[in-house]
A and B are shown apart, each in its own frame.
Chain A
C-alpha cells in the first residue's frame, strides 16, 4: 500500500522536473536549449558526476527533487554571470538613440553637450575598445561555447543514456515494488495466520492451564482423600497391630504349649530311641508306639483346637464391631429394666388398691346381704333403683302432704271463720245456755238413758268384737243376729228420739207462748243444730286431720326410719360406694392412660425394632450371613486396595526421600536450596521418584488398557448389533417388497428383484439433493435388460413420476415370468393379472 504514493511522487518528480524546465526564468533570455541547459547541465553535471559514482536511480530522483532550489540560486546572482551583461549593453544602445533625437537649445547646454559628447565619444572609444575586447572575448567565449556545446552534446548523450537507464531502473523498481507488495501481502497473510495460530495456541495454553489447575485440584483432593484414607488405615493398622500383638501373646502361649509338646515328643522320641536300642523288648516298643500315636493324636487335637481358636478369634474380630450394637442393646435393655421396675411398682400399688377395693366390696356384699330382706337384692343397681323408687314415693307423699296441708289450711280458714262465728254464737249461746240449762237438766234424764243405750251399744260392740275375734267362722249368722239386735236398739233409739222431739215440740209450744222468746229459741235451736253440725264437722275434720297427721307422722317416721336406716346409712354407703366407684373409674382411667403410654412406648419399641430389622439386624445365634467370596464389591475393593497399597508405599518412599533430602540440607547448612538442586538434583531426581510410582503408573496403564478393551468390546458389540439390525432391515425389505437392496458408494442404491432371471438384472438409483429419486440406468453390465424395461420406465417414472409403482409393476411382471408364474397368473387373473394387462395395454 505504501507503494502508490511513492510511485506518484516519482511521477510527480518527473512532471515537476519538466515543469521546472518550463518555469525556468532563464528560458526566455536564452532561447537556445544549448545555452540554458548549459548552466543547468553544468550544475547538473557536477551533481551527476557527483552522483555518477553512486549510479543509483533513487538518488538521482532525490536530486531532481532538490533541483529547483539549485535553479533559484543563479537567479539571485545574475550579474556575476557574463550573459546577464548583454541586456545592459542593449539598454545602452537605446540611450544613444534617445540622444540623437534630442535637439540643443542652449550654448551652455551645447557646450555641456559637446563636452558630454566628447566625453561620451571618449567613453565610446573606450567602449569600442572594450567592445573589441569583448568581441574578442566573445569569440573566445564562442569558441569556449562550442567546446562547451560539444561537451553538452556528449553530456546529452550521457544524459540520454542515463535517462534510459533510469527508465529501466524505474521499471525494475516498479517490478520490485510490485514484488514487494506481493511479498508484503503474503507476509501480512502469513502474519495473520501466525497471529491466529498464536491465538489458538494461547487458547490452548489457557485451556491447558485450566485443565492443569483442575487436575491439580483433583490431584490435591485425591491426595487429601488418600492421606485421609492412609490415616484411617494407619489407625486400622495400629488396631490390627494391637490385635496381632494379642494374637502374638496367644500364639506365644500356644507356642509354649507346642514347645512343651515338642519337648514331650522329643522326650518320647528319645525314649523311643532308647527303646529302639532295646529292640529285644518288642512289647514295650509297641506300647511306646501306641504312646507316640497317642501323643501325635494329642498334638493333632491341639492343632485342631488351635485352628478352632484362631477361627474363633477371627469370628470375634468380626463380631467386635457388633459390641457397640450390643452395648446399645444393653442400654436399651437397662432402660427397659427400669421401665419394668416402674411397672412392678405400679403393679404393687395396683394390687394394694385392689385389696382395698376387695375389702370394700366384701363390706358391701355383707351389707347387702344384711339388707337383702329389705331390698330384695344385693346388687348396687337394684339398691339404687329401690332408693330412687323410694325417693319418688317420698316425693309423692310429700306432694300429697302438701296438698293435704293446703286442704287443712283452707279448712282451717273455714274453721277460723266458723270459730269466730262460734265465738259470737257462744256469747249468744252462753246467754241462751243459762236460759236453757234448766231444759238441759230436764233432758239430762233422757241423756242418761241414751248414755245407757250407748253403753249398751258399746258393750254389744265389744261383745261383737269379742265374738268376731272368737268366732270368725260363725261370723255371719251371729252378725245377722247382732244386726237385728241393733235394729231393735235403733228402733228404741228412734222412739226415745221421738219422745225428745215431742219434748222439744212442747218446749216450742212453750216458746210460742212467748213469741220473741220462741223465735229466739227457734233461732237458737237452729244455731244449736248448726253448731252441732259444725262441731261434728270440726270433729270429723279434726279426726281426719289427726288421722292425716298421724299418717304423716307415721310416714315421716317411716321416712325417718328409712332415711336413718336405709337412706342415711345406705345412701351414705351408696355415696361412699359411688365415690369408691368414681375412684376406681379414675384409677381405671389412669391405668388406661398408663397403658396407652405403654402402648406408645411399645410402638416406639416396635418402631425401633422394625428399623433395626430394616437396618438388617438379625439373630446371630440362629442365622448366618453369607456372601460369595468373588463378588463385585470385593473385586472393586481389592483393586482399590491394591492401588491404595501402591500409593501408600509410594508415599512412604517419597517421605523417606524427603527426609533424606532434609538430612542432606541439615548436614550442609551452607548449601542453599538452589545449590542443592544444582549439585544433587541430577542424582536425587533419579532417586526421588521411587520404583513404586512407576509401578503405580504401570498399574494405571493396565487399567486404562482394560478400559480401552472394554470400550472396544462395547464398540464391537454395538457394531454387531447394528450389523444384525441392518441385515434384519434388509431382509425385511426383501421379504416385504421383493427387492434386494445394496448400498453402493456415492449414495447409490442397487435394487435386485427376487424374481429376476439373472443376477445382473438390477436397477441402480442415486438420490438427489432434493431427495427425489432419480433413476440411473447403470445396471450390472446388462443394458439390454434396461432397454427391455423402457416402456415401463417411460410409463411410470417419466410420465407418472412414481418409482414405487414402477418397481411393483416390474415385480408383477417378473413374477409372471418365473416358474411360479403360471400358478400365480392363474390365481391373479381376476385381480393383479388384469391390472398388469391394463398397464401393458396403456403402455402400448
Chain B
C-alpha cells in the first residue's frame, strides 16, 4: 500500500498569473474529460497549446458549463478566495465517486508582486517557464491514464470549488457535498481505492 501511495502521490506546482491559471484549468479539465473517456472522442477537437496537441470539447453544453465555471473561478482567484478545484468523476448508475482530481491552489501575493515588479525580460522568462510547467502537467495527466483503472460504466462529472466562507457566491452556485470517496463499511478498501485513484495537484500562484 505504501509503495503505491509513494508512486502516486504527486505534487504538481505552477506559478503564474490568474489568466494563465484559468487557461490551464480549461485545458487540464478538458484533457481529463478526454483521457478518462467521460465523453466520446468525436466530441473533442485538437488544438495546439503549450507546444502540445491538446483536445478540447466541442459539445456546446459542456463548453458553456466550463466557460461559466471558469469565469467564476477567475473571479475567485482574483479575490484570492479559492483554495481548491475538484473534478469528481462518478458512476451514473450508482452515483459512486470513482475519481477525484484535486487542484490545490495557494495564493501568494508577494510572489506575484515580485514577478510583476522588475523588468519585462524576467516576466517573459517566467512565462516560458510556466508554459513548460503546464506542458509537463498536461503530459502527466495524459500519462496517468496508463495506471488508472479503465472506467467501464457510464460516467459523468462534476466540478467543485473550495472557497473561503466570506467569498461572494453568485446565484448559479450552491453549496455541495464534498464528493468524498468514502464508504464506512469498506473504509480501508475504499481508502486503497482512493489512493489508487487520487491525484493531488498542487498549484502555486
Interfacial residues, chain A to chain B (CB-CB below 8 A): 225, 315, 318, 321, 324-325, 328, 607, 610-611, 613-618, 621-634, 636-637, 640, 714, 717-718
Interface centre among A618, A625, A634 (most CB of B within 10 A): A625
Q: Which residues of B contact A318 (CB under 8 A)?
A: 175, 177
Closest-CB distance, B148 to chain A (whole angstroms) = 15
A610–B180 Cα distance when bound, in Å, is: 13
Closest to A328 in B: B184
Is B144 interfacial (CB-CB < 8 Å)?
Answer: no
Assess the A636–B156 pair: CB atoms within 8 A.
yes
**Given A617-B178, A623-B164, A611 and B92 touching (CB < 8 A)?**
no
Assess the B163–A632 pair: CB atoms within 8 A.
no
Is B95 interfacial (CB-CB < 8 Å)?
Answer: yes
Is B151 interfacial (CB-CB < 8 Å)?
Answer: no
Assess the B173–A640 pair: CB atoms within 8 A.
no
Q: Which residues of B contact A632 (CB under 8 A)?
A: 61-62, 65, 156-158
Assess the A626–B184 pair: CB atoms within 8 A.
no
Assess the B180–A616 pair: CB atoms within 8 A.
yes
Is B167 interfacial (CB-CB < 8 Å)?
Answer: yes
Assess the B164–A622 pair: CB atoms within 8 A.
yes
**Given A615-B182, A714-B42, A627 and B174 touching (CB < 8 A)?**
yes
Is B19 interfacial (CB-CB < 8 Å)?
Answer: no
Assess the B62–A630 pair: CB atoms within 8 A.
no
Assess the A623–B194 pair: CB atoms within 8 A.
no
**Given A626-B169, A628-B173, A629-B173, A634 and B195 touching (CB < 8 A)?**
no
Interface centre among B84, B100, B172, B176 (most CB of A within 10 A): B176
Is B50 interfacial (CB-CB < 8 Å)?
Answer: no
Main secondary structure of the interface of A (DSSP, over half): helix
Q: Which residues of B contact A325 (CB under 8 A)?
A: 182
User: What is the 8 Å Cβ interface bit string for chain B, positions 154-189, against chain A (1 contact, 0 not)?
Assistant: 001111111111010100111111111110100000
Closest-CB distance, B118 to chain A (whole angstroms) = 34
Closest-CB distance, A403 to chain B (whole angstroms) = 69
Question: 7 additional contacts, CB 8 Å, given A607-B2, A622-B165, A626-B175?
Answer: A321-B177, A614-B194, A615-B194, A622-B164, A627-B161, A629-B174, A718-B42
Is B18 interfacial (CB-CB < 8 Å)?
Answer: no
Q: Which residues of A contact B88 (CB under 8 A)?
A: 633
Q: From B42, B172, B175, B195, give the contact of A624 (CB < 8 A).
A: B175
Assess the A616–B169 pair: CB atoms within 8 A.
no
Is B135 interfacial (CB-CB < 8 Å)?
Answer: no
18 A-B pairs, CB-CB below 8 angstroms? A225-B93, A607-B5, A613-B200, A614-B9, A615-B181, A616-B86, A616-B178, A616-B179, A618-B83, A622-B164, A623-B162, A624-B165, A624-B167, A626-B175, A627-B176, A629-B174, A631-B65, A632-B157
Closest 7 CB pairs of A and B: A627-B176, A633-B158, A614-B198, A636-B156, A616-B180, A626-B173, A633-B156
Q: Which residues of A contact B84 (CB under 8 A)?
A: 618, 623
Assess the A626–B174 pair: CB atoms within 8 A.
yes
Q: Which residues of A contact B69 (CB under 8 A)?
A: 628
User: What is the 8 Å Cβ interface bit string for chain B, positions 42-73, against chain A (1 contact, 0 not)?
Assistant: 10000000000000001001100100110010
Closest to B95 in A: A637
Is B191 interfacial (CB-CB < 8 Å)?
Answer: yes
Closest to A321 in B: B177
Closest-CB distance, B58 to chain A (whole angstroms) = 8
Closest-CB distance, B77 to chain A (whole angstroms) = 14
Is B28 interfacial (CB-CB < 8 Å)?
Answer: no
Closest-CB distance, A475 to chain B (whole angstroms) = 90
Closest-CB distance, A186 to chain B (whole angstroms) = 52
User: What is the 8 Å Cβ interface bit string for chain B, positions 117-130, against chain A (1 contact, 0 not)?
Assistant: 00000000000000
Assess the A615–B198 pair: CB atoms within 8 A.
yes
Closest-CB distance, B33 to chain A (whole angstroms) = 10
A631–B2 Cα distance when bound, in Å, is: 35
Q: Between A and B, how many residue pairs show CB distances below 8 Å?
A: 117
Q: Which residues of B contact A625 (CB under 8 A)?
A: 160-162, 175-178
Is B102 interfacial (CB-CB < 8 Å)?
Answer: yes
Assess the A633–B194 pair: CB atoms within 8 A.
no
Q: Which residues of B contact A613 (CB under 8 A)?
A: 200
Closest-CB distance, A430 to chain B (whole angstroms) = 105
A321–B97 Cα distance when bound, in Å, is: 15
Is B32 interfacial (CB-CB < 8 Å)?
Answer: no
Closest to A632 in B: B156
Closest to B92 in A: A636
Interface centre among B61, B95, B162 (most CB of A within 10 A): B162
Closest to B174 in A: A629
A714–B45 Cα distance when bound, in Å, is: 13
Is B90 interfacial (CB-CB < 8 Å)?
Answer: yes
**Given A318-B175, A624-B162, A625-B177, A616 and B102 touching (CB < 8 A)?**
yes
A632–B182 Cα distance when bound, in Å, is: 22
Assess the B178–A634 pair: CB atoms within 8 A.
no
Assess the B157–A633 pair: CB atoms within 8 A.
yes
Interface centre among A318, A616, A631, A637 (most CB of B within 10 A): A616
A700–B137 Cα distance when bound, in Å, is: 42
Closest-CB distance, A615 to chain B (whole angstroms) = 5
Closest to B68 in A: A628
A614–B167 Cα distance when bound, in Å, is: 23
Assess the B159–A611 pair: CB atoms within 8 A.
no
**Given A628-B65, A631-B159, A611 and B191 touching (CB < 8 A)?**
yes
A211–B42 Cα distance when bound, in Å, is: 29
Closest-CB distance, A318 to chain B (whole angstroms) = 7
Assess the B163–A626 pair: CB atoms within 8 A.
yes
Q: From B62, B92, B176, B194, give the contact of A640 (CB < 8 A).
A: B92
Closest-CB distance, A170 to chain B (whole angstroms) = 76
Assess the A614–B200 pair: CB atoms within 8 A.
yes
Closest to A314 in B: B175
A613–B174 Cα distance when bound, in Å, is: 22
**Given A618-B84, A636-B156, A626 and B176 touching (CB < 8 A)?**
yes
**Given A627-B173, A631-B158, A614 and B102 touching (CB < 8 A)?**
yes
Assess the B163–A624 pair: CB atoms within 8 A.
yes
A225–B167 Cα distance when bound, in Å, is: 41
A321–B92 Cα distance when bound, in Å, is: 21
Q: Which residues of B contact A629 (CB under 8 A)?
A: 172-174
B77-114 interface with A by 8 A CB criterion: 83-84, 86, 88, 90, 92-93, 95, 100, 102
Closest-CB distance, B79 to chain A (whole angstroms) = 13
A611–B62 Cα distance when bound, in Å, is: 31
Q: Which residues of B contact A607 (CB under 8 A)?
A: 2, 5
Assess the A610–B9 pair: CB atoms within 8 A.
yes
Q: Which residues of B contact A315 (CB under 8 A)?
A: 175
Assess the B180–A615 pair: CB atoms within 8 A.
yes
Q: Which residues of A contact B167 (CB under 8 A)?
A: 624
A599–B61 Cα distance when bound, in Å, is: 51
Assess the A627–B169 pair: CB atoms within 8 A.
no
Assess the A623–B83 pair: CB atoms within 8 A.
yes
User: What is the 8 Å Cβ interface bit string for chain B, positions 1-34, against chain A (1 contact, 0 not)?
Assistant: 0100100010000000000000000000000000
A610–B198 Cα distance when bound, in Å, is: 11
Closest-CB distance, A323 to chain B (whole angstroms) = 11
Closest to B58 in A: A717
**Given A616-B86, A622-B164, A633-B90, A627 and B181 touching (CB < 8 A)?**
no
Closest to A608 in B: B191
Q: From B159, B169, B176, B180, give the contact of A617 (CB < 8 A).
A: B180
Q: Which residues of A contact B180 (CB under 8 A)?
A: 615-617
Closest-CB distance, A716 to chain B (whole angstroms) = 12
